[in-house]
Amino acid sequence: MSGADTTSNLTKAAGLPESFHAGRFAGKVVMVTGAAQGIGWSVARRIAAEGGDLVLVDRAPLLHEVAEGLRAHSAHALSVTADLETYEGALAAVAAAKDEFGRIDVLINNVGGTIWAKPYEHYTPQEIQKEIQRSLFPTLWMCRAAFEMMITAGGGTIVNVSSVATRGMNRVPYAAAKGGVKAITSALAMEGAPHGIRVVATAPGGTEAPERQVKRGPAPQGEQEQAWYQAIVDQTVDSTLLKRYGTLDEQSAPIVFLASDEASYITGATLAVAGGDLG
């Protein structure tokens, strides 16, 4: 099967636009975390369609079905289930990539997401810790686990996924975690530059996506919790200039651009992808 045919089949299978760049990631090994659903799912399909070899990481077994679907359309996709909230899980993911491909050229850190939605005074200490553990540590651990390999290889690219919710309603612990992701990006870019390593990030806004098959947390219960969640939705839309949520394609395309060689003169920056909301 030709490269053009492979790209066309991947496009049709994933419902992606025809306008992305065939061959842009040819010869590249790209690791995508949180790849079983949502933005990570969309990024993985774009990378596959653009010719990259993939290492997909998630703690949900659903990930293996995603990889199998890509392999059915001639993509080279390794799936690794790991808990990236632990350093041991991050090390295991990197080791699997090294065993399969010998290196990681691009690391896309996508794991994270709000678990609860409520005013800060209603969070328990345990819930605060879980939010930080969920949305900060996977990026912190993965950067640590992959950085030495990239230094040894003489270069690489890390794309982190932060959020414009660093200024938002009813998500203070999540905002703190994603603010930390932005700080990792700017600080690690300074350390990575002498080694030929770029570190960049996007900050997504509200994003429309199919209902998650694996939930991040409990659905809002009762009128009060539903009202707190609705306040997030209303504030998210009101804060955008375009007055709407984005799509998965609108989030994954900037991530894939920043991961590519086309963005070779961009490092240390976080790009808001939120319809004009800068966070």
Relative orientation angle of helices 38-49 and 3-14, to the nearest 10 degrees: 160
Relative orientation angle of helices 172-192 and 137-153, to the nearest 10 degrees: 10
Task: Given the residues 174, 229, 245, 265, select the one marked as catalytic.
Answer: 174
Q: Kindly report the CA angle at 248 between 243 and 254, in degrees rounded to 5? A: 90
120 is catalytic: no
Q: Where are the alpha helices (DSSP H) in 72-206?
A: 87-101, 125-135, 137-153, 172-192
Tokens describing residue 230 = 């609705």
The CA distance from 95 to 75, in Å, is 21
Between the two ends of the chain, the Cα-to-Cα distance in Å is 45
Q: Are the beta carbons of 220 and 229 closer than 8 angstroms?
A: yes
The CA distance from 210 to 185, in Å, is 29
Residue type present at position 228: W
Give me the DSSP letters along 37-65. SHHHHHHHHHHHHTT-EEEEEESSTHHHH
Distance of CA 54 to the CA centre of its chain: 14
Bridge partners (DSSP) listed for residue 270: 201
Residue type present at position 64: H
Tokens describing residue 168 = 């938002």
Q: Please identify every residue annotated as catalytic.
A: 174
